[in-house]
Amino acid sequence: MEHDVLMSFLVIIGIDLILGGDNAVVIAMASRHLPPRQRQKAIIIGTLIAIMMRIALTMAAVYLLAVPYLQFIGGIFLLYLGYQLLIEKKDAQHVKGGTSLFKAIRIIVIADLFMSLDNVIAVAGAS
């Protein structure tokens, strides 16, 4: 039993790390126009808020995935997102950088919220 729990935990961490890479790019781009000291604060604060938000979203998703057929709908959504990523040719340079600490943190949090949907569904499904 302990082996299964450990393996599930490692799978969840792996999924989160793989799917979270694009979020790191957004964080860097959102804080790129700030002075070095503010940039570091924006990265730390934005990342901490994003982590707390992702934990809350994952807990909500685990609860919602207990609803019949909702896991199937989540899987369809993930397939759609994957397809969109394959056909979309947009570059990540369209992310606007924040000109103040608050604006950069706001961009980080909003972007992470929308970019984490696939991550949250995958992690919740694996748990």
pLDDT at 1: 58
Nearest-angstrom CA–CA distance, 61 and 70: 10
Residue where the block lists tokens 């793989």: 18
The token duo for 17 is: 């790390």
| C-alpha–C-alpha distance, residues 53 and 43, integer Å | 15
pLDDT at 61 over 60: yes
Mean pLDDT for the stretch of residues 29-46:
90
Place of tokens 């980080």: 108
Residue 91 CA to residue 32 CA, distance in Å, equals 17
Query: Could you tell me the residue range of the domain that residue 73 belongs to?
Result: 2-126
Question: Structural domain tally of the chain?
Answer: 1
pTM (two decimals) = 0.63
Integer Cα distance of 22 and 5 in angstroms: 28
Whole-angstrom CA distances from 62 to 45, 83, 122 are 26, 24, 10
| 64-97 pLDDT per residue, tens | 777 878 778 877 887 887 787 778 665 555 556 6
